[in-house]
Amino acid sequence: MKITKNQYSKNKLKRLKQIKNSEDNLFKDSFYMILSNLYSKLILYLFFWLIPFIVGTEGFGIIRGLLPIADTIVIFFCSGIPPAMAKFISENKSKTQLEKIQQEKLNKTDFTNLNDANNENNLWEFDILKYMVLFSFVGALFAISLKYILGGDYSTLPDIYYYAIALSIPFSAIISWSRGILQGNLKIRQLSLTWVLEHTSKVIFLIPLALFFGVTGALLSISVGYLLGGLLGLYIIFKYIPRYKNKKSEIISTSDLKLNNEISNTLVRKVMIYALPIALTATSYRLLNDLDSIFIMSMLGGYDNGLYGYASLISKLLFLFAASISTVLIPRIAKSNSENLNENNSKDSKILKGSKALNYLKKSILLNFIILLPLLTIFVIFANDILKLSFGVSNIDVSNSLIILSFSASVMSMYTLSASSLQGIGYAKIPLYIIILGIVLNSILNLSLIPIYGIMGGAMATLISSSIISIITFIIALKKLR
């Protein structure tokens, strides 16, 4: 069937409307993620708020010292892969649509060979899941050995704490994989539900488990949250996404198809290669985010780390907006970059390439700071009152730490959005190099400032290192997106 010029024009107009809607939906999807992250952060705040009342300030400090390390392991072995999955899923869908338009322009109707990577019979994402489960068991073994790797007060903690951390890692693989699928298919509202269930489950099961088993029970409640959130993610994927819903019975039956296996293996390699710098970056970022707590736990002990944990927990409320927006920013910038590459013969190509992705970043930063600045002002002025209301603590060092950490969280939000933009256009290694610099700088500053200023030294070290890496990343992102 021959495609007329009028039909082609209508198809192109339809495609342009889809691009415009995709840009507008950045704010809609960000709104969903902000609401879910706000709820999750409030529930997480409730989770940590309950802990000192159940296990005491020292127990709270121990948990605050262990969780950053547990999260770092989870991210490196499991959670670093889904963002790469989301990029390839979103990018391949965009390529399919654009290639069909190009075929129509050439008056061709056979699209059967277009974008084999996104063929309905090729569910390469399940091969990724197998690797993630395997990696999670390796991470669990590593978690058990942490007691013999870490020094200071960590070496005095009971073995059962490290076993509880190890248990959570395989469960995290399931929920992480499902979120990668949902993010890549731009199912942001459904993605947000997994966050809500995960954190709600943690609070619900925290109370009985911590009451009966203390710190160990609090750590076990994290595994329950991962498990239930992961099961919900799987249910949504198989129930509501046609690509997976219609092919459940073919996951096993198509394994003998050589072509699909070759395509799948190729995509798995690409995803893993692309995921490595993202995983290293996210791991390094998580480590940097709470490196102060790790040093304080090791150098000053669980009680002081518990006091510092109050300020650190409250300040992180400011960071949730950037984290929410970055979730929907990566696939959209990746999709925009893919469209630019596929439309490089278009008259508007240079304009799109020079402005579209950059506009995404600018709008994201603007949206973030419009919401963030009023809250930052409140935190700075009423720091001591907020601590009294939240944890019943009135301590000048803790109040000053909250003010310093609030500025640090605000600055790091700019780093998060800039790094997400770089990852979306294929420069995933740049944020990694910058964050490694931040870890080295932060470690040196913590070792230097904590012996002099106590817990305030940890806050100062975080603010200085965060400011440096955020400025560097933002400048580089502006240059690469232009």
Predicted pLDDT of residue 115: 45
Q: Which residue from 38, 65, 39 is spatially nearest to 51, judged by alpha carbons?
A: 65
Rounded to two decimals, the pTM is 0.73
Residues 6+ apart with CB under 8 A from 135: 77, 78, 173
Q: For residues 218-239, give the mean pLDDT.
A: 92
- Would you call 34 helix, strand, or coil by DSSP? helix
The lowest-confidence range among 127-141, 203-217, 287-301, 411-425 is 411-425
* Range scoring the smallest mean pLDDT among 20-34, 70-84, 283-297: 20-34
pLDDT tens across 285-334, in order?
788 888 999 999 988 888 999 999 999 988 887 876 666 665 555 556 65
Q: Residue range 376-384: average pLDDT?
A: 90
DSSP 6-25: HHHHHHHHHHHHHHHHHHHH
Q: What is the pLDDT of residue 247?
A: 55
In this structure, of 192-201, 240-249, 269-278, the range with the lowest mean pLDDT score is 240-249
| Highest mean pLDDT (candidates 16-20, 31-35, 391-395) | 391-395
User: What gap in Å lies between CA 379 and CA 401, rounded to an integer?
Assistant: 11
Judged against a pLDDT cut of 60, whether residue 209 lies above it is answered with: yes
Instruction: Tell me the percentage of the chain whose pLDDT exceeds 90.
Output: 28
Among 303-307, 349-353, 476-480, the minimum mean pLDDT is found in: 349-353
Q: Are 227 and 171 in contact (CB under 8 A)?
A: yes
Neighbours of 187 (CB within 10 A): 19
Higher pLDDT, residue 400 or 362: 400
Output the furthest CA–CA distance in the chain (Å, rounded): 79
Cα–Cα nearest to 364, from 219, 230, 209, 477: 477
C-alpha closest to that of 237 among 98, 92, 129, 78: 129
Task: Choose between 283 and 295: higher pLDDT.
Answer: 295
Using the predicted structure, report yes or no on whether residue 355 has a pLDDT greater than 70. no
Q: How far apart are the first and last CA of the chain?
A: 41
Average pLDDT over all residues of the chain: 78
Residues 2-26: tens digit of each pLDDT = 545 555 455 544 554 454 444 455 5
Quick one: average pLDDT of 213-233?
Answer: 93
Quick: pLDDT tens for 433-442: 888 999 999 9
Identify whether the C-beta of residue 91 lies closer than 8 Å to the C-beta of residue 185.
Answer: no
CB-CB contact of 111 with 100 (8 Å): yes
Return the higher-pLDDT residue of 42 and 386.
386
Q: How far apart are CA 80 and CA 21, in angstroms?
A: 29
Total tally of structural domains belonging to the chain: 1
Q: Which domain holds residue 450?
A: 5-481
Q: Residue 280: how many CB atoms within 10 A of its CB? A: 20
Residue of higher predicted confidence among 59 and 49: 59
- Written as six digits, the tokens of 114 are 């277009």
Number of residues that make up the chain: 482
Range ranked top by mean pLDDT from 22-31, 52-61, 264-273: 52-61
Radius of gyration (Cα) for the chain, nearest Å?
23
Contact 50, 203 (CB under 8 A): yes
Q: Which residue has the tokens 């944020």?
A: 431
Q: C-alpha angle 231/191/367, rounded to 5°? A: 155
